[in-house]
Amino acid sequence: MEFYYYTLLAGIIAIIYALFAAYITLKKEEGNKKMQEIASAIKSGSAAYLNRQLKTIAIFAVILAILFLFLPNGYEITIAFLTGAIASYLTAYLGMNVAVRANVRTAKIAEKGTNAAFKTAIIGGSVTGFAAVGFGLIGLSLLIMYLTISKVEILIGFGFGASLVSLFARVGGGIYTKAADVGADLVGKTELNLPEDDPRNPAVIADNVGDNVGDCAGMSADVFESYAVTLVAALLIAYGISHASVINFAYPLYVAAIGVISSLLALLFINVKGDNATLAIYKGIGSAVIIAAVLDFALTWYLSLPLAYFYSVLSGLVLAILLFWITDYYTGSGKKAVVKVADAAKGGGGTDVIMGLAVGLRTTWFPAVVIAIAIFVSYISAGLYGIGIAAVGMLSLTATILTIDSFGPITDNAGGIAEMAGLQENVRKVTDKLDAIGNTTKATTKGFAIGGAALSATALFVAFAQAVGLSSIDALNSIVTIGIFIGAMMPFIFSSFLMEAVGKAANLMVEEVRRQVKTIKGLLQGKAKPDYARAVDIATVNALKSLVIPELIAILTPIAIGLILGKEALGGLLVGMIPSSFMLALFMANSGATMDNAKKYIEEGHFGGKGSDAHKAAVIGDTVGDPLKDTAGPALNSMIKVVSTISILLAPVFIAYTLL
Amino acid sequence: MEFYYYTLLAGIIAIIYALFAAYITLKKEEGNKKMQEIASAIKSGSAAYLNRQLKTIAIFAVILAILFLFLPNGYEITIAFLTGAIASYLTAYLGMNVAVRANVRTAKIAEKGTNAAFKTAIIGGSVTGFAAVGFGLIGLSLLIMYLTISKVEILIGFGFGASLVSLFARVGGGIYTKAADVGADLVGKTELNLPEDDPRNPAVIADNVGDNVGDCAGMSADVFESYAVTLVAALLIAYGISHASVINFAYPLYVAAIGVISSLLALLFINVKGDNATLAIYKGIGSAVIIAAVLDFALTWYLSLPLAYFYSVLSGLVLAILLFWITDYYTGSGKKAVVKVADAAKGGGGTDVIMGLAVGLRTTWFPAVVIAIAIFVSYISAGLYGIGIAAVGMLSLTATILTIDSFGPITDNAGGIAEMAGLQENVRKVTDKLDAIGNTTKATTKGFAIGGAALSATALFVAFAQAVGLSSIDALNSIVTIGIFIGAMMPFIFSSFLMEAVGKAANLMVEEVRRQVKTIKGLLQGKAKPDYARAVDIATVNALKSLVIPELIAILTPIAIGLILGKEALGGLLVGMIPSSFMLALFMANSGATMDNAKKYIEEGHFGGKGSDAHKAAVIGDTVGDPLKDTAGPALNSMIKVVSTISILLAPVFIAYTLL
């Protein structure tokens, strides 16, 4: 049997499981009419956004697809590109459509206690997780079947398709979710003194939609992309190093298939006992890592491959869990750093933010060191190929990670629905607890996503060098130096546009909420319903409008550098961009998470509790942290991968034509 | 005549001018008794800090000097090291001692109008500027005289001496100034509703001392360091490329000597007509650039050297003025970006900071592009040597830049003294106007300092590669990749400690001010004097205490990487660190400057003016921006240079011993 049948099979198993999980989820009770009404508003808002985003992507995709036809093997590349894009969108679509149904069901089942609700949300989240790996493996396997191994460079089209969707989904979803969230909070909490998720707040539905389009669809596209491009990079490296060796080609795919099995088994270990939610998450990822490690070892041994291959894969697996741990260590609720920020809030919003940024900056050291070690270990084990399979090892955990992550928006929404529908105190206690767990999972999986993006970009960088035929990229060559400076700058300018977009869109949201409060009579008394759809529309339009410039920066900069300055400069750009983006993303994501949890720590009653001056200061910190952690930080993941994939994709062009 | 006599002469001219300027300054009237009292408190606080800082530096310096004795040519290196350290400290000492005397004289002469006060402050500031280049050139020339050219690698000791002092002065001064400033503002402005520089605020003297030890002594040490290490790097590169060619060795020194002449002539053009302060600054730097360019061209022609050398120098000169311009474009008072941030303040402290960070991130693109172009132009003109002399060209403007910069703390202090001594409205108007000009000069010269640091670090990187004998530093080599990741991380972890130190020390200051307000009866009524010395002491002790860890990180990381992973990894560290630090420093410095000026814009009466909600929000943004722009951002300059110089200094060790 050809090797790609195994991965095809693994992909099909993943999709069967995903459909099964979706079926189980949909079978659950939906709750009372009010809950259904709210859920339906969230559902239609989310679907509307995803559809409009699709149109924007389609324009870009069609233009690019046509241009790709002019490349060598253009026809195949275009097919691969569209396959990647469609697979990514299908993942986001299926995952999110189940998530927006799992939310209300989680709220309903919360009557029966924490455990039942936890399970419902996890199963709902697992749809996204397994859809991602399923569509990824099926798409890739079919392409390999259809092409021949000798045309492996065409697979980069698949990676770029995933990258393009991810770029839009991450950027658009990120702007959407924070414009709505910040806008809702600024007026709702600060001016009108409404609690979170109060149905009188006109932006509340938009806020809940944002959780789905940002944290669920955006995140799934991001991790799907890492998964897809990592596999492609490993295949390209394998091919670049040993053209004929099928086993080197098959090995990363087998590791990915093992990831499906271990993630399925790991689902059995994700359960919450008592209050220890963090433990549940650790059990999930820990068991996935251990099972994968055992099976990967067995695989390597069975295939009589050098054990060094296994060490490379293992270094990727260990990296994943270390990044998980360090994110929790710094940003987990009640942790030392979080308390420090909460303590600084006593001095006002200024000192809160100063300390929050300080913590975010601090969080870079450990990830930088461990990723450096992982790269080194995998390299001395198996050379450049080792870096490729280390990345595959890490990303083979995708299904587990996305399951845990998608749990977040579901429980967040469940909490919102419980609040808006006025469910009983004991139900809301359960959904609040799950919401808090969801916040932790969102933060920790972000650490994985950032690390995964950096490692896969590093693998892509290696593949790029092979594709353009560079055996060294010398930092002493000043054309490379130029690239390095431009590359190091890219994450800064890119995230600048995202921060600004959130600031602007949030302000528009604030104005809209103020307008509704003023013009709709009886709104604050709960006698009249706000116009949720207007707020949803503002978030949608502005998210889609503001994503164009950053997208163009990400796509056109590498093309311009490659065409004007040539492949060495473009290599330099990747060298400068990847670490710079990794640090900036960690800084942003973790600053935001810490300030968020510092606020929650105060809300739990510390340093004066809710309504105190410290709390007001912490709310300011949380506002600043919001676009850092949910818009700019995560979008950098997509940016570095899109830049890397397009550089490889256009390698033949950069080899043939360069101005200098 | 040997070439080093010319630079010695230029150095002596600079010192004679500096002493003359000091004499003119001291001859001016000191004002009434109250003013003298206040000035004397600032003076003694500043001197006390500089002396205690000296003791801390001395401990490090003595330990290092002893260790250096074990290096090849250890005796000479130790002498060079101590010469560099002493020259830097002398600059800071002379410059600051005049600045703390020029402040009260500026306040006094402000009675006679803007022009007279402007001139007094500029002449006072020029002492620092010319002392820096004077001591730099004299120190270097004497070392070259004493050594022989064949021992040129010893000069790196001089550079490292300057670096060590700069690291302490920038970090310590930066923490001091912002701990005092933030602490004074948090209680003074927010809780007690006291205006800026109110004598009833116990932290007010510490705040004014901070301007001197941070903006004057810290900045002068930073730019002195860039000046010294750039010259050393150019000499090392010249020697590495053409051992015997004395003219290549002399050329950068001649360019530096020309810098003294053009800076002296440029002083004639720095004058303020009407209200246009920015124009005065542009005239100053513009004339310095034009005169230097003409003279450098003449020099190159006279020496019959290739015109390509001149193009390299010119690219450095042009870079300087472009960095000046872009900083002003984004952060200058009333500029578009500033108004945008002020506008965002209407939404609260959160949106103000979001927009401020967005602007800061945005400011990186232009400097990255122009520094890349400058490196490229100089490289294609004259190879690696071109990069060295481009950096020298840029830094040849040091005297002008430092003059303009040191104007800032003098006028800031003058404003403080005028306020505290209760001078008349018309005098305060003049000092307020000068203070505003000073804020602009501080921000724009920071752009120069950051660019200068990046360019000189790049030159040092080239010199490092020569010193360890690497003809290429290949980013595809995974040992280099490790270095790149660690290097890109260093600026983040380093600035994390500084941000935290400011947050902590500011909180202690807040507590002290609150304590004094509570325990000293009649303080707020102006009947009793606060205990200024206690506040000064708190800032001093905490600044010196918190600088140890970041210093050790900066010094020990390159040593550890070099010893454990070897010279390739250390080269990678420099490759990762320089651009990452450049972007982070720009982001931090410019975010802070923009938020500062946004606050001022509101205070001028826009968006509700002083006391409005927007103003309160902008004050929060200013607080966040303070340590970004005056502590963490600028300290990165010193960090990258100290890491680069120590890497060169210990090159023989890394060549001989490496673990891997």
- Cβ contacts below 8 Å, chain A against chain B, sum to 271
- Cβ contact (<8 Å) for B486 and A462? no
Alpha helices in B547-566 (DSSP H): 548-564
Question: How far is the alpha carbon of B148 from chain A, nearest alpha carbon, in Å?
Answer: 28
The two tokens of residue B191 are: 């809780």
Q: Is A362 on the interface with B (CB under 8 A)?
A: yes
pTM for the full predicted model: 0.96
B476 touches chain A (CB under 8 A): yes
- Whole-number percent of chain A with pLDDT over 90: 78
DSSP letters, A519-567, are: HSTTTTTTSS---HHHHHHHHHHHHHHHTHHHHHHHHHHHHHHHHHT-H
Per the CB < 8 A criterion, the answer to whether B447 and B637 are in contact is no
- The secondary structure of A191-216, three-state, reads HCCCCCCCCCCCCHHHHHHHHHHHHH
Per-residue burial over B630-646, b = 16 or more CB atoms within 10 Å of its CB, e = otherwise: bbbbbbbbbbbbbbbbb
Separation between Cα atoms, residue A437 and residue A444, nearest integer Å = 11
pLDDT bucket at B275, cuts 50 / 70 / 90: low
Assess whether pLDDT exceeds 70 at residue A275.
no
- Whether the CB of B564 is below 8 Å from some CB of chain A: the reply is no
Res. A151 pLDDT band, cuts 50 70 90:
confident
Q: How confident is the model at residue B199 (pLDDT cuts 50, 70, 90)?
A: confident
> Chain A contact for B560, CB < 8 A?
no
Distance from the A541 Cα atom to the nearest Cα atom in chain B, whole angstroms: 20
Q: Using the 8-state DSSP alphabet, how is residue B31 labeled?
A: -
Residue A339, chain B, CB below 8 Å: the answer is no
**Mean pLDDT (chain B, rounded):** 92
- When mean pLDDT is compared across B160-174, B299-313, B432-446, the lowest value belongs to B432-446
The pLDDT of residue B360 is 97
Checking phi first, is residue A306 left (phi over 0); if not, alpha (psi -120 to 50) or beta? beta
In chain B, the residue whose alpha carbon lies closest to the alpha carbon of A461 is: B476
Residue from A178, A237, A377, A485 whose CB has the most chain B CBs within 10 Å, to mutate: A485
Residues B460-495 have pLDDT tens digits of 999 999 999 999 999 999 999 999 999 999 999 999
Q: What is the ipTM of this complex?
A: 0.95
Query: Helix A567-603 and helix A425-468: axis angle, to 10°?
Result: 170
Contacts 24+ apart (CB under 8 A), A111-119: A111/A424, A111/A426, A111/A427, A113/A430, A114/A272, A114/A430, A114/A433, A114/A434, A115/A271, A115/A272, A117/A411, A117/A414, A117/A430, A117/A431, A117/A434, A118/A271, A118/A272, A118/A280, A118/A434, A118/A437, A119/A271
- Does A394 have pLDDT greater than 60? yes
Q: How far is CA A404 from CA A271, A312, A412, A635, B94, in A?
A: 11, 25, 13, 20, 61
C-alpha distance from residue A313 to each of A226, B373, B514 (Å) = 16, 41, 57
Of A350, A475, A619, the CB nearest to B623: A350
Q: In 10 A of CB A199, how many CB atoms?
A: 19
Whether B375 and A496 lie within 8 Å, measured CB to CB: no
Q: Is A636 on the interface with B (CB under 8 A)?
A: no
Confidence at residue A122, expressed as pLDDT on a 0 to 100 scale: 93
Which tens digit of pLDDT belongs to each residue from A54-64? 999 999 999 99
- Mutation choice for B interface testing from A362, A379, A476, A582 by most B CBs within 10 A: A476
Indicate if the pLDDT at residue B225 is higher than 90. yes
Q: Give the chain B residue whose CA is nearest to the CA of A346.
A: B507
Backbone angles phi, psi at B474, to 5 degrees: -95, 115
- Average pLDDT of the residues in B75-99: 93
Percent of chain A with pLDDT over 70: 98
A193: which residues sit within 8 A by CB, 6+ positions away?
Answer: none
Residues 363-382, chain A, touching B (beta carbon < 8 A): 364-365, 368-369, 371-373, 375-376, 379-380
**A470 interaction partners in chain B (CB closer than 8 Å):** 476
Condensed to tens digits (0 to 9), the pLDDT of residues A353-393 reads 999 999 999 999 999 999 999 999 999 999 999 999 999 99
Q: Does B549 touch chain A (CB under 8 A)?
A: no
Which residues lie across from B489 on neighbouring strands? none
Chain B (204-263) residues lying within 8 Å, Cβ to Cβ, of chain A: none
Chain A residues with CB-CB distance to B493 below 8 A: 361-362, 364-365
A506 contacts in chain B (CB < 8 Å): 347, 351, 354
- Which of B190, B586, B624, B639 best tests the A interface by mutation, with the highest count of A CBs <10 A? B624
Question: What distance in Å separates the CA atoms of residue A154 and residue A630, rounded to the nearest whole number?
Answer: 33
B318-364 pLDDT, tens digit each: 999 999 999 999 998 889 999 999 999 998 999 999 999 999 999 99
The reported pLDDT for the residue numbered B526 is 84
The alpha carbon torsion through B154, B155, B159, B162 (nearest 10 deg) reads: 100
In degrees and rounded to multiples of 5, residue A474 shows phi and psi of -95, 115
Amino acid at the residue A92? A
| Residues listed for chain A | 660
Q: What is the DSSP string of B303-341?
A: TT--HHHHHHHHHHHHHHHHHHHHHHHHHSTT-HHHHHH
Cβ contact (<8 Å) for B502 and A472?
Answer: no
Burial class (CB in 10 A: 0-12, 13-18, 19+), B150: exposed
Confidence of residue B296 (pLDDT cuts 50, 70, 90): very high
Query: CB distance B485–A350 less than 8 Å?
Result: no
Q: Which two tokens stand for residue A22?
A: 């979706």
Binning pLDDT at 50, 70 and 90, where does residue A1 land? low
Nearest-by-CA chain B residue for A374: B482
Query: Which residues of chain A have a CB within 8 Å of the CB of B352?
Result: none
Q: How confident is the model at residue B274 (pLDDT cuts 50, 70, 90)?
A: low
- A45/B246: higher pLDDT: A45
Decide if A592 touches B, using CB distance below 8 A.
Answer: no
> What was the pLDDT predicted at B152?
82
Residues of A with CB below 8 A from B175's CB?
none
Contact A126, A264 (CB under 8 A): no
Tell me the C-alpha distance between B85 and B74, whole Å: 16
Res. B277 pLDDT band, cuts 50 70 90: low
Q: Which residue of A has its CA nearest to B349?
A: A620
Query: Which pLDDT value is given to residue A398?
Result: 95
Query: Residue length, chain B?
Result: 660
Using one digit for the tens of pLDDT, what is the confidence trace for B545-596? 998 999 999 999 999 999 999 999 999 999 999 999 999 999 999 999 999 9
